[in-house]
Amino acid sequence: MLVLHRDTKAQFPSEAPIMTAMATDFPAFERDGVLILDRLLTPAQLAAAQAGVDWAMAHAGGPHRWIKQRSYEWHERHPVFVELIEHPAAIAAARMLLGEDFHLIAAQCSRNTRDDHYAPGVMQFHQDAVFFPKPGRAPADVPANRCGFSAMWTLQETPLAMGPTEFIPGSHIQGDRRYGNDDFPAGRSSDGLLRRDVPAGSLILFNHRTWHRGGPNTTEQPRDLVTNAYARPEVEKVQILTPRGDGTEAYVPCEPVLAKASLMLSQLLRAR
Ligand SMILES: O=C(O)CCC(=O)C(=O)O
């Protein structure tokens, strides 16, 4: 049963302190294009999320082995995925970066193992251009770096040996400047690179314009992430599309979730 949803904005007892904390941290997120909030999940949320990702890797369908999309569709069995989508820290960041009108454009979990990085391409520095507004759709009066961001949850202690995501702080405000792996040699910490251990249950917020890369996981343990992406209305839904029989994909609102959803979740999930 979906029990978390209520029709008010205040869904979590901890929302007010998190809003206050985010107001303090937000200038750093604006400046750097990345913000790591350590150990935000409760032990119960963390355990539920770990169990949810284990389940998804074994049972959820889809074209990818180690990436499973539309996590909110598993709400009956694993309501934690909806809880993370609506987490007050992610929502607070969305309000401050994007304004009041934003929606969910991706909701996935991924597993990165030593032998199989789930998406090898992302080990090269990149921006998440797939989440940029399509040509001609960018809002004229909004800076390009205020259109979308991802909220990525780490589900295990993630030492450098597990290849936590590395970021170039400030690179989201440098226009067309491009970065490659030659700018920061792999496996080393350098000035200008955010590369650090990330504790279990942490939230990594990063602007879709911030250059970043995944590191290699050199350990025996999988590196699991839950990643939800939020964007202004000009950005279309991307990685939560359902394949149709004719080879195309479409966004299909998840009616069982929407039937019980809070106002915020309805805003996030309704078709645009
Ligand atoms: O940490 C990783 O493996 C890469 C994450 C990434 O590049 C992304 O989510 O866009």
Residues 6+ apart with CB under 8 A from 182: none
DSSP reduced 3-state for 257: helix
Exposure of 173 in the CB half-sphere (CA atoms within 13 A): 10
75 CB near ligand 1 (under 6 Å): no
Atom of ligand 1 nearest to the CA of 150: 9
CATH number at residue 81: 2.60.120.620
Q: Which amino acid is at 229?
A: A
**Are the CB atoms for 5 and 256 separated by under 8 Å?**
no
Q: Best mutation site among 110, 158, 208 for ligand 1, i.e. most ligand atoms within 8 A of its Cβ? A: 110
10 occurs within a structural domain? no
By C-alpha distance, which of 168, 93, 69 is closest to 127?
Answer: 168
> What is the amino acid identity at position 3?
V
Indicate whether residue 122 lines ligand 1 (CB < 6 A).
Answer: yes
- Rounded to the nearest angstrom, the distance between the alpha carbon of 191 and the centre of ligand 1 is 21
Burial 62-99 (b: 16+ CB within 10 A, else e): eeeebbbbbbbbbbeebbbbbbbbbbbbbbbbbbbbbe
- The minimum-distance atom of ligand 1 relative to the CA of 152 is 9
pLDDT value for 13: 47
Question: Tens of pLDDT along the chain (272 residues)?
Answer: 223 333 334 444 456 777 788 889 999 999 999 999 999 999 999 999 999 999 999 999 888 889 999 999 999 999 999 999 999 999 999 999 999 999 999 999 999 999 988 788 899 999 999 999 999 999 999 999 999 999 999 999 999 999 999 999 999 998 889 999 999 999 999 999 999 999 999 999 999 999 999 999 999 999 999 999 999 999 999 988 988 888 899 999 999 999 999 999 999 999 88
Asked if residue 258 belongs to a domain, the reply is yes
Range of the domain at 263: 15-269
Q: Are 229 and 149 in contact (CB under 8 A)?
A: yes
Between the alpha carbon of residue 54 and those of residues 95, 230, 250, the distances in Å are 31, 24, 27
pTM score of the predicted model: 0.93
Q: Which pLDDT score, from 0 to 100, does residue 16 have?
A: 74
The structural domain count of the chain equals: 1
Does residue 4 belong to any structural domain of this protein?
A: no
Would residue 27 count as lying in a domain? yes
Q: Of all atoms in ligand 1, which is nearest to the CA of residue 213? A: 7
DSSP structure class, residue 118: S
Kind plus residue range of the DSSP H or E element containing 53: helix 43-59
Determine, yes or no, domain membership for 2.
no
Residue closest by Cα to atom 3 of ligand 1: 214
Structural domain includes residue 8: no
Residue 166 backbone phi and psi in degrees, to 5: -110, 145
Q: Please tell me the predicted confidence (pLDDT) of residue 62.
A: 85
**Which residue owns the Cα nearest ligand 1 atom 8?**
122
Residue 6 lies in a domain: no
Residue 90 lies in a domain: yes
